[in-house]
Amino acid sequence: MPSPVPIIVLAQLFGTSLWFSANSAADDLIRAWGLAQADIGTLTNAVQLGYILGTLTFALSGLADRYPASRIFAACAVLGAMFNGAFAMSAEGMGSGVPLHFAVGVCLAGVYLLGMKLVVSWVPQRAGDPQ
């Protein structure tokens, strides 16, 4: 049976691509919303803060130990994509954009952290192995 690790890593790559979605559309957002360059940094910081609080939530709640990591990973990836889609389709400025990007960051904690947990659970003998 082939290893699921490449599939997990690919899913994690796609899931974490949400991290810089505002940066990739920065020029268009500046024009459409009349933003300053620093506002793009605010959107990126909203993702970072969401990620930090999401990480703390997973660590303190023990959710990843009580529920299957694959389900949390999938739910966070789908929710992150939905929040990012809502940002692209309905955000009209910083007032709606920042909370949506914060929510993306919370979801990214479930994608990145749980993705790592899934990889290690499939090949525990390689955990910490530099090769």
Per-domain residue ranges of the chain = 9-124
- pTM, 2 dp: 0.88
Nearest to 121 by CA among 55, 61, 66, 70: 70
Give the pLDDT score at 66: 92
Contact 80, 104 (CB under 8 A): yes
Q: How confident is the model at residue 23 (pLDDT cuts 50, 70, 90)?
A: confident
Give the pLDDT band (50/70/90) at residue 3: confident
Tokens 């990836």: give the residue: 77
